Amino acid sequence: MKKAIYISILVILISCKNEKNEPNPLLIEYHEKGLEYQMQNKTDSAIVFFKKALKVDPTDISTYESLVKTYWWSQKPELALGILETVPTELKNTNSILTLKGMTLEKMDKFEEAMDLYKVAFEQSPKIRYENENNIMEYIGYLTLQTIVGEKEKAIAELNRLKSKKLTESEKHYVNSIEPLIQNYKGGGYNSI
């Protein structure tokens, strides 16, 4: 389950390339403090700091991701969904928010609604191609989403093409960690990966 959450979060983080060159130092401070508390299982404190970070920059998708993940781990997906409903208008239909919202709906046993959001996110995302080690995680995130929306065979073919290239050890690690998850996927959203 933790591996599935890691992969899911990886997809989101990769799909949410923040366009800002210089993030606000206060945002970074609050977010990092929230992550520290999250790692110590001090979820209430983590939530406070993630919310402080969002007051500094209400468009920071990685902070939304951290806050939502904290609610998931606290078994409070309804609160996570509430946060996602309050994102600024310009973020509501981004791939990252749609995917996070879908994952949250899955945790609430609203699978069909979740799948609809994944399909929208996949359809509006640009087709990502492997370039080099710098975009391997983004590429794997794309292949994971492609698998979730029912294009597993295409994702497997892409993985096989990728494996035929000369990869670094790090790239091989990423490919080897996701390949069995994609190959064994039988439907069921991110919770089944």
**82-128 confidence digits (pLDDT tens):** 999 999 999 999 988 999 999 999 999 999 999 999 999 999 988 88
| Domain of 89, in residue numbers | 22-101
Note whether residue 29 is domain-resident. yes
Read off the CATH number of the domain in which 84 is found: 1.25.40.10
Rounded mean pLDDT of 51-56?
Answer: 98
Does residue 77 belong to any structural domain of this protein?
yes
What pLDDT score was predicted for residue 18? 41
In a domain, 133, yes or no: no
Quote the CA–CA distance of 137 and 147 in Å, as a whole number: 15
| Section 169-176 average pLDDT | 90
pLDDT at position 19, please?
45
Contacts of residue 40, Cβ cutoff 8 Å, sequence gap at least 6: none
Task: Look at residue 113 and tell me if it is in a domain.
Answer: no
> 184 lies in a domain?
no
Q: Is the pTM of this model over 0.95?
A: no
Give every CB contact of residue 179 below 8 A, 6+ residues apart in sequence. 159, 163
Residue 66 inside a domain? The answer is yes
Q: How many domains does the chain have?
A: 1
